Amino acid sequence: MYPQPINGYGVSKVVDSDHPEFKKDDLVWGLTTWEEYSLITDPKSHSLVKIHHTDVPLSYYTGILGMPGKTAYAGFFEVCTPKKGEYVYVSAASGAVGQLVGQFAKLAGCYVVGSAGSKEKVDLLKNKLGFDEAFNYKEEHDLKAALKRYFPEGIDVYFEHVGGEMLDAVLQNMRVHGRIAGCGMIAEYDRAEPRGARNLTQIILRRLHFIGFTHRDYDHIYPNFLEFVLPYIRQGKIVYVEDITQGLENGPAALAGLFKGRNFGKQVVEVASF
């Protein structure tokens, strides 16, 4: 096999095309891989979507208006089926998806607490993104007790980005009939041997729904999602925090930084501007 560029979602401009749906100078987002120019023969397999609204930053189509936004919207509203007044917990809450889940939870009338890995991120969650509470998980010796402190009544909805010890602590704080949306498990990805979770009997005892999902199963709701989110963006009622790295050559360091929590909001790599 020849070396391949890393797969990834990006925003691109069509340089040339003989496809009926995509014309020269069209803006698109989709799986355009980590390279300056991409040859796409099957737009469907690259999940290519034409960009119609350009009165918002184009970088948003790598985030709030792209895959992470669709993920947060489908995961929160479709997978978690939140009800007004429910208690929502989001890990990796200042990340590309988490920051949106928290804001969606507030719009849905929920109480939402987020966790992140630095004081700056915790401040962001509380002061800029409107989370009810936020905490630095690195400062907590006992995650189970920390969650008990923030959720004395228990957690109805957990948006899972972490796995491992965090998941174990959450399982011990879920309310009966709670929902866990499995979106990612970053604590597991770079381990040689996954740690997993030990408290799975809680899934049975508390009658939980633990549901893995991907935005790819929710293409049909993308138009509804845009209709929902664009007015909030234009009115400034939803905020989206991005961490923009310049230059494709700085992409690998930015990717590695995700595993160390170095990014502040959605990590974007700007390859070119147009």
Residues at the contact surface with a second copy, assessed by CB under 8 A = 163, 167-168, 182-185, 188-189, 193-214, 217
Q: Which is nearer to a second copy, 92 or 183 (CB)?
A: 183
Pick the closer one to a second copy by CB: 26 or 188. Answer: 188
According to DSSP, the β-strands at 27-31 and 9-13 are: antiparallel
CB of 251 to a second copy, least distance (A): 24
Q: Which is nearer to a second copy, 11 or 187 (CB)?
A: 187
Q: Which is nearer to a second copy, 21 or 142 (CB)?
A: 142
Rounded to a whole number of angstroms, the minimum distance from the CB of residue 170 to a second copy is 12
Least CB distance to a second copy at residue 67 (A): 15
Specify whether the CB–CB gap between 148 and 168 falls below 8 A: no
CB of 183 to a second copy, least distance (A): 7
Amino acid in position 46: H
φ, ψ dihedrals at 195, nearest 5°: -85, -40
Q: Which is nearer to a second copy, 50 or 209 (CB)?
A: 209
Q: How far is the CB of 98 from a second copy (least distance, A)?
A: 15
Phi, psi of 186 (to 5 degrees): -60, -30
Inter-CA distances, 186 with 50, 153, 196, 242, Å: 30, 27, 12, 19
Which of 64, 57, 50, 9 is CA-nearest to residue 273? Answer: 57
User: For the chain, how long is the longest CA-to-CA vector?
Assistant: 59
